[in-house]
Amino acid sequence: MADEDNQGSGRRTLLLILGSVLGGVVLVSLGLGIGYMIFGGTPSNPSAEVEQIIERSSPQAQQAEGSEPEDELAEEGAEGAEGEEGAVPKKMPRMAPGDTVFLTTYYEFPGNLTTNLRGSRKFIQLGIAVSTQYDDTVMANVDAHQLALRSEILTAMSAFSEDAIDGVQGRTNLAIAIRDAINAKLEQLEGFGGIEGVHFSNFVIQ
């Protein structure tokens, strides 16, 4: 009888242990299931989160994240510079002094100028133009004093004889005399001459 009682009590103890183990397993399973349902999947891995934080705080990651705004600012700055291109001064090329070329301007007196040659019954008829490499002020003065200059030109023409204006050298001397007469009158009227060349668009002796 004593053996049967000992065996019965041993069985009850084993059943209690098995029941406790099974109950613990069931409770753990229920806890995991409820946690899965509430938090939606695999529980977070603390080590993985730490690695992500370290990667985000690294200089390479910060540079990669900060590069885009800098690029955008650079592009905006470039667009702004293009938009204000007209307001920004530009460097202009400057020619060397030896290569400087001056602009020559011309002025032609209207019509022809006619006068008698000195010591001859013949007369000379000229179409005259003048040139300068000075600014427009010179030609403006010529146009403003055209009547006075025409008188000076006729006086210079009448001082030449038929022989004096014969040939290329004679015409060159006549052109120089007319130039000097024009400049002298302009210096008297405006304080500056500026005429550098006299050209004949018409040259007739009759």
- 8 A C-beta contact, residue 172 and residue 129: no
Count the residues in the chain: 206
> Which of 192, 198, 206 has the alpha carbon at shortest distance from 156?
198
Please state, in angstroms and rounded to a whole number, the distance separating the CA atoms of residues 197 and 172.
10
CATH fold label, 105-205: Tetrahydropterin Synthase; Chain A (3.30.479)
Placement of tokens 């001397």 in the chain: 173
- 0.75 exceeded by pTM: no
37 pLDDT more than 60:
yes
Q: Is 29 helix (H, G, I), strand (E, B) or coil?
A: helix
> Is the Cβ–Cβ distance between 112 and 153 less than 8 Å?
no
More confident of the two residues 70 and 171: 171
Residue type, 67: S
What amino acid occupies position 118?
R
Segment 123-143 shows an average pLDDT of 94
Largest CA distance in the chain: 184
What confidence category does residue 91 fall into, taking pLDDT thresholds of 50, 70 and 90?
very low
Torsion of CA 53, 59, 65, 70, to 10 degrees: 160
Judged on CB neighbours under 10 Å (0-12, 13-18, 19+), 141 is buried
Weakest-pLDDT range from 2-16, 145-159, 173-187: 2-16
Region 154-162: mean pLDDT is 95
Mean pLDDT to the nearest integer, 183-189? 96
Q: What's the rounded Cα separation, in Å, for the pair 66 and 73?
A: 11
**How far is the C-alpha of 28 from the C-alpha of 22, rounded, in Å?**
10
Question: Mean pLDDT throughout 86-115?
Answer: 71
Taking a C-beta distance cutoff of 8 angstroms, is the pair 171, 134 a contact? no
Q: Residue 28: what pLDDT?
A: 66
What's the pLDDT at 10? 64
User: Please, what is the end-to-end C-alpha distance for the chain in angstroms?
Assistant: 177
Domain boundaries, the chain: 105-205
